[in-house]
Amino acid sequence: MIIKDTKILLVEDNLDDVELTLLAFKKYNFSNDIIVARDGQEALDILFPFKEKSKKSKLPDIILLDLKLPKVSGLEVLKEVKTHPETKIIPVIVLTTSNEDRDIRDSYRLGVNSYIRKPVEFNKFVEVVKQLGLYWILLNEVPSHKEE
């Protein structure tokens, strides 16, 4: 696999899921630069730090977002990301267990770029992560954060 210099922010509270996701990513060598946020607040802190300087360098290229999170929910994080102009351009992929209509609808209403359901079965999950990586990391071009 070609390793691209893609920064990924994984927002996920469940350690098991974090580990399994990382395992799956590792299996296909999509990226080495994965930051994990364990709740919504942490994700927001990473995306909107107090020091203006460090901001640009730390912004991820892709956000993988779980919906059910402690403190600040995934939808709220999504709303913040899509409201602010500097984060608005970052593709957000909801990666969650639920396929409730309400969640899908709300996510797209807030401007999610993709909604992917985590299958329970590990083999299927690995397959999903593979597809996701192939598309969003390798095929899809993301905008750079450097000023034009």
Partner 1 sequence: MKLTKISYQILLTFIIVIVVSISTAGWFLLQVCENIVINKISVGDRQLSQGVGREIKSEMENIKSVLKFLVSSPNWQEMDPFMIKDELKFVENNFPDITELYVADLEGNQIVKKGAGKPENVADIWSFQLAKEGQEIFSDIFLDPQTLKPIQIIVLPILENKTVKGVLSAELDFQRIISSIMDVEIGRDGSIFVVAGNGRVIAHTYINQLTDIDFSSVPIVEAVLGGQKGVMKGYADNLGNRVVGTYFPVWELGWGIIVQRSLSEISREVEQVRNVIFITIITSIILAIIAGWLMSGTISKPIRLLAEASERVAGGDLSTSVDIKSSNEIGVLTNSFNRMVKELKQTQGALRKSHDELELRVKERTTQLEASMYELKAFAYSVSHDLQAPLRAISGFSEILLRDYLDTLDDQGQHYLKRVRAGTVNMSQMIEDLLTLSRIARRPINKKRVDLEKLVRETYELLSEAERKDRKIDFTVKSCLPVSSDPQLLKIVLTNLLSNALKFTGKCKKAEIEFGCNTKDKKTIFYVKDNGIGFDMKYADKLFSPFQRLHRKEEYEGSGIGLAIVQRIIHRHGGKIWAESFSGLGTTFYFTL
Site for partner 1 in 111-140 (CB under 8 A): 118-123, 125
Interface with partner 1 (CB under 8 A), residue from 86, 100, 111, 143: 100
Q: x/- contact string, 25-64, with partner 1 (CB under 8 A)?
A: ----------------------------------------
Cα separation, 78 vs 65, in Å, equals 8
Q: How far apart are CB 24 and partner 1 at their closest, in Å?
A: 9
**Region class of 127: left (phi > 0), else alpha (psi between -120 and 50), else beta:** alpha
Q: Is 144 in the site for partner 1 (CB under 8 A)?
A: no
134 and 59 in contact (C-beta within 8 Å)? no
Interface with partner 1 (CB under 8 A), residue from 23, 49, 56, 105: 23
Residue in 36, 42, 145 with CA at minimum distance from that of residue 84: 145
